[in-house]
Amino acid sequence: MKHIVKIMSFLVLMSAVWVGLLQASIVPQSYTWLLPLYSIVSLGCYGLLMVGVGLMQFPTCPQESLLLQKDIIEAKEFLKQRGVDVGSD
């Protein structure tokens, strides 16, 4: 239950800040009405950006891939000699 309490309190804090901004009129009121929607859209954009950047920077380790293939072939031969069915050949 403690995690949902944290989430709820964060939401209440955000709405209190928003209502306070509405009342105080530091920024023009028409902006304050659109602020939650703008934050949601920008949060979605940020998530998509992080996914794209992570995809671009993903390391592939080609040498490890070759060593892994060799290990797989070795293991398959070993098991076939012992009589275990290794499947896709």
Partner 1 sequence: MELADRAVGFLLSFISLSIFTYYTFWVIILPFVHGDHFVHKYFLPQEYAILIPVFAGVTLLSFLCIFIGYVMLKSKKKKA
Binding residues vs partner 1 (CB under 8 A):
30-31, 34, 37-38, 40-42, 45-46, 48-49, 51-58, 60
CB of 3 to partner 1, least distance (A): 21
Rounded Cα distance, 88 and 76, in Å: 10
Ranges assigned E (strand) in the chain: none
- Residue pair 36/42 in contact by the 8 Å Cβ criterion: no
Which residue's CB is nearer to partner 1, number 11 or number 40? 40
Residue ranges of the alpha helices (H) in 1-89?
A: 2-24, 29-56, 62-82
Which residue's CB is nearer to partner 1, number 1 or number 56? 56
Which residue's CB is nearer to partner 1, number 35 or number 76? 35
